[in-house]
Structure 1
Amino acid sequence: MSGGAPWLHMCIRHRETESYLSSAAGLDNLISAAMVSEDTRSRLRVHGQGVMVLLKAMRLRADGVGHPEDMVSMRIWIDEGRVITTREEDVDPILELAEDISQGRGPATPGDFLCDLIEVHLAEASEQVEKLEDGVDLISNMLVHHQTEAACPSMANTQTAISGFLRHLGPQRAVLQKLTTLVVPPLNTNHRGRLEDHLNQLLRLLETLVNLRDRIDILSDRASRIQERQLNQSSYVFAVVSTIFLPLNFVTGLFGANLLGLPFADATNGFWVLVGLCLLMSVGLVAVFRWFKWL
């Protein structure tokens, strides 16, 4: 870092990482174990003059789209003179800060490092939430045009994504709340002010996600009603068609019974008389349906 504090970025799959953290790095055993744990929940732990922060951060796919299942653990330890991070897979905020530092424009102190890291993390989360908002707007537009077949798969994916982001981002609120009031050497008043801004940004994100969840629930109910109405309309059409053709089937079946000879069998125009009779019955049935406003 530009201020001279070292940054150690270590892989948790290396078998010597935990022993190095607890011995050479001088970290508490509980903190060392948490820094190499594969499955972590967002939390904060203070030890001595330093603080460990565990968060879930985004790892974007090649297409630039982030999914909740792609959020992986981001483990950070800072004290007054150093930064230690551990990884199973690199997350985008870490990669972005590493690039900034390599170009000489990165954070100057461990406190700056933590604030910058959270800032990048929330910026990427905000971008993904904006994409979810656009997706919900698109689903709403589909339902306006009764395109339920296209809307329903998108709706299910969006519901899953919203729930996943809430599950990963929700616990981070408590972490940032503690950081805004934490008094340790790496964090000064300026850092706490920045962290308070980050907390407000996270709260807005969570509020947006809750609103999106409520909207998608309403849209899901609307889609169900549209599908139910379409099904009822289809059933009604089949019922009307069946009602019209049932008497015709009866008449044609009666004329074809051949018990005492076919009516009009010897008549030259017998077939056409039967066809005309069926047409008259059809028109009459349609007129009756219109009269009772069934059509």
Structure 2
Amino acid sequence: MAPPADPEARPSPFSGLPGALWLYRFDTDGRARPLDAGQYGLEAVQTADGHWHWLHLDLSDARSAQVVAGLALPEDACATLLAPDSHVNLQLEGDAVHGVFVDWTHQRGVDLAAEGQLRGDDGIGWLHFALTPTLLVTARRQALRSVEAARHAVGAGADADSPVRLLELVAARFADTVERSSDGLSVRLDRIEDRVLADSIGEERRDLAQLRHQTVRLHRPLAAMRRVLKQFEQRHPADTGHELLPAVSRLNQRFDDLDGDVATLQERARLLQDEVAAKLAERTNRHLYVLSMITALLLPPSLVAGLFGMNLPGLPFAHSTHGLAFALSLGVASSVVVYLALRRMGVSRST
């Protein structure tokens, strides 16, 4: 005989995990197995059976809020997952961690392995997350590159023995993109520097302006991540005992190195831009010097030509057969006199 129905029990308002983009179950060795989010409910995700889960939600789906509300997470963690925050933060509450990380947007159909570096149209996105010892929940409104790269990594067999390790893997993929982009910009800057040193200046000003813009795009999100991670490390002493503290320390070290590399690129680009401007100014001054010399040398002949061009009685050589030769000789002689006078004053010596 079937037991009587519990009058307090309420049916779930939804089946499966609507709004979920993917769901992975990790075994004790950190190996991931993809699950069908439509076939599993909240109880299966939160069951502590020696496994842990990674649930990734699409915040543009309104049903994701229902899923978040049913998770066994602190109230602040649920608010962080659903908040429209556009700034980086990281909080630790007991065993639960929640926050927002910055990431690069990802276009569907683009091969992450072949893409490598940032492109000009890549924007900034925000990864909301909350984790417990048995669950990592990530959420976003736009497809994000680092999250996609981490998913491909765990699908290919990368080890992630805990939610903290997987979160660190996502942050490390963000750092990988910054590093590859920084290396690419460094190669471009070396080529521009070689052309500038060879005094072969063409479109270097435009190229340097674009390069400086790209270094700024790298530096701003990187600086935001460094600031938040350092503040987190300062708020929580090393003896806190949470697994997140060593991960934050490792990420801090790598982000510090990357920020130094990007800052070096910015300084090199700025100094090189100043050198290009100085070389262009020097070239302009040389051109102006040549024009000034030509103008000064042509002024006396112009005066002579103007004098002999006046149709007035009494002009010298007006009735002489050699008048034109005398006038031309006088114009040339006046230019020579002006040139010698400029040399004597030092004006004709190019500096």
Give the TM-score normalised by structure 2: 0.72
The gaps in structure 2 that reach 5 residues or longer are 1-24, 28-50
Structure 1: distance between partners of 2:57 and 2:301: 82
Residues 116-135 of structure 1: pairs in structure 2 closer than 5 A: 116-135=169-188
The gaps in structure 1 that reach 5 residues or longer are none
Aligned CA RMSD, in angstroms, stands at 2.9
Count of aligned pairs between the two proteins: 291
Higher-helix-fraction structure: 1
User: Shift in Å at residue 202 of structure 1?
Assistant: 0.7
User: Shift in Å at residue 77 of structure 1?
Assistant: 1.8
Q: Identity rate of aligned residues, in percent? A: 18
Amino acid at match of 2:300: P
**Is 2:26 aligned against 1:13?**
no
| CA offset digits 1:10-62 (Å, max 9, x no partner) | 111112223431x2123344433332344421110123421113221234676
Structure showing greater relative contact order (alpha-carbon pairs closer than 8 Å, 6 or more residues apart): 1
User: Shift in Å at residue 205 of structure 1?
Assistant: 0.9
Contact 2:80 2:99 in 1 (8 A): no
Structure 2: distance between partners of 1:138 and 1:71: 28
1:24 corresponds to which of 43, 50, 70? 70
Residues 223-242 of structure 1: pairs in structure 2 closer than 5 A: 223-242=276-295
Give the TM-score normalised by structure 1: 0.84
Structure 2: distance between partners of 1:142 and 1:33: 53
Change in 2 beyond 3 A, CA 1:94/1:143: same
Amino acid at match of 1:219: L
Structure 1: distance between partners of 2:106 and 2:321: 80
User: Shift in Å at residue 197 of structure 1?
Assistant: 2.9
Structure 2: distance between partners of 1:116 and 1:225: 45
User: Shift in Å at residue 94 of structure 1?
Assistant: 1.1
Structure 2: distance between partners of 1:200 and 1:65: 22
State the secondary structure of the residue aligned to 2:334. helix
Deviates more, 1:128-137 or 1:170-179: 170-179
Instruction: Report what 1:276 is aligned to.
Output: 329
| CA offset digits 1:126-175 (Å, max 9, x no partner) | 11111222233233333323455522122222222223322211121244
Instruction: Report what 1:42 is aligned to.
Output: 88
Structure 2: distance between partners of 1:119 and 1:103: 16
Amino acid at match of 2:104: M
Q: Which has the larger radius of gyration?
A: 2
State the secondary structure of the residue aligned to 2:91. strand
| CA offset digits 1:199-252 (Å, max 9, x no partner) | 211101111222222223322332332233223222222221111111111000
Structure 1: distance between partners of 2:125 and 2:198: 38
Change in 2 beyond 3 A, CA 1:182/1:12: farther
Amino acid at match of 2:103: A
State the secondary structure of the residue aligned to 2:118. coil
Instruction: Report what 2:118 is aligned to.
Output: 66
